Amino acid sequence: MIKFINAKLNLGLNIVRKREDGYHDLETVFYPVGLYNGTPENPEPFCDILEITPGENTEFVFTGRKVDCPLEKNLVYKAWKIFKDNYPRLKDYKIHLEKHLPDGAGLGGGSADASGVLLMLNELSGYPFDKEELLEMALCLGADCPFFILNRPCYAEGVGEILEQIDLDLSGWWCLLVKPYVSISTKEAFAGVRPCKPDKSLREIVGLSVKDWQGLMVNDFEGSLFPGHPILGDIKNKLNDLGAVYTAMSGSGSTVFGLFQNREKSLEAAERFGDCYVSVCKL
């Protein structure tokens, strides 16, 4: 079985409060990105490739972009382990991840891979778990993981695990993702944030026209990270100058994206970021 693993965007992200347990409550809007890459209209690949096949022993193979961590800390391994712990009759499989999505980018690539493992093992095992049970397992792996079980536009609260599917359709829009060759850890991202409840909820803002988002919908991490990484602010300004209708940093990572009204404008803009990782995605 093969699954193409897409990424996500945070269309906006507000850090609402710091909790007593040290974590932060937030509100954000998750939107899948990369679903249509590989089609004739959008041939550039933008996904990881996960293949799970029967084997004599359980085996993990990683190719493509280097996954720089011990096996026991890899989210693909952790997803297999939590599934195995909950379903001891799990057969032996060879799990092969071909990694293409960039790390430390705020795109949820590792979380998407983990949720992909849960979904595929559940299907290969005859669906022993329902969606709610898979969501519980996914949350044990990371705050972004439950979103990828649903893989539909969602408004999220808590640490990102309280999900509400929303009727948000960005069909016809094109997204240019730009990631400079810097990565940002979650620890660094949260170190400088100042929690504050926004004047207007993201739930309301996403109901407006995309053309009205700029200035209303923000990512609070930009205020804490742009001063220390000025290249991120430069990229955002450049995307605005090149005609993007809405621009923001995704999540707590270093990818800045712009939404364009057509493919031609997004491709023209992509050529202006030759020193960065870029990808053009149809939404």
The predicted-structure confidence for 37-51, as pLDDT tens digits, reads as follows 888 888 888 999 999
Give residue 198's pLDDT: 84
Q: Is the pLDDT of residue 98 over 90?
A: yes
Per-residue tokens: 153: 């536009």
List, by residue range, all CATH 3.30.70.890 domains of the chain.
174-282
Question: Distance (Å, rounded) from C-alpha 189 to C-alpha 71?
Answer: 25
Cα–Cα distance for residue pair 90/121, rounded to 1 Å: 8
Tell me the CA end-to-end span of the chain in Å, nearest whole number.
Answer: 25
| Helical pair 131-141 and 109-124, crossing angle rounded to 10 deg | 140
CA distances from residue 176 to 36, 147, 245 in whole angstroms, order as listed: 14, 22, 11
What is the band of 4 on the pLDDT scale with cuts at 50, 70, 90? very high
- The SS3 assignment for 242 reads coil
153: how many CB neighbours lie within 10 A of its CB?
Answer: 21
Reading the block at residue 156, the tokens are 């999220």
**Structure confidence by residue, pLDDT tens digits, 127-185:** 999 999 999 999 999 989 999 999 999 999 988 889 999 999 999 999 999 999 887 87
> Does the pLDDT at position 187 exceed 90?
no
174-282 belongs to CATH 2.60.40.10 = no
* Banded pLDDT at 108 (limits 50, 70, 90): very high
pLDDT higher than threshold 90 for residue 78 = yes
> From CA 160, how far away is CA 30, in angstroms rounded?
9
Q: Does domain 2-165 have CATH number 3.30.360.10?
A: no
* Both tokens assigned to 26: 């937030």
Q: In this structure, what token pair is assigned to residue 233? A: 């602010």
Any catalytic annotation for residue 144?
yes
Catalytic one among 3, 8, 78, 99? 8
- pLDDT, the chain, mean: 93
Give me the phi and psi of 156, to 5 degrees please.
Answer: -130, 145
Buried b (16+ CB within 10 A) or exposed e, 53-77: eeeeeeeeebeeeebeeeeeebbbb
- The string of pLDDT tens digits covering residues 198-241 is 888 898 999 999 999 999 999 999 988 999 899 999 999 999 99
Q: Say yes or no to pLDDT of 266 above 80.
A: yes
Among candidate residues 3, 48, 78, 144, the one labeled active-site is: 144
35 or 24, higher pLDDT: 35
116 with 98: CB under 8 angstroms?
A: no
How far apart are the C-alpha atoms of 109 and 33, rounded to whole Å?
A: 11
Q: What is the pLDDT of residue 41?
A: 86
pLDDT of residue 133: 98
| pLDDT at residue 97, rounded to an integer | 97
- Give me the mean pLDDT over the 249-260 stretch: 94
What contacts 121, CB < 8 A, 6 or more positions away?
A: 52, 79, 80, 83, 87, 90, 93
Give start-end residues of each CATH 3.30.230.10 domain in the chain: 2-165
Higher-confidence residue of 260 and 198: namely 260
81 is catalytic: no
166 vs 155: CA distance, rounded Å? 6
Tell me what pLDDT residue 69 has: 84
CA 216 to chain centre: 22
Backbone angles phi, psi at 29, to 5 degrees: -120, 115
Per-residue pLDDT band at 252 (split at 50, 70, 90): confident
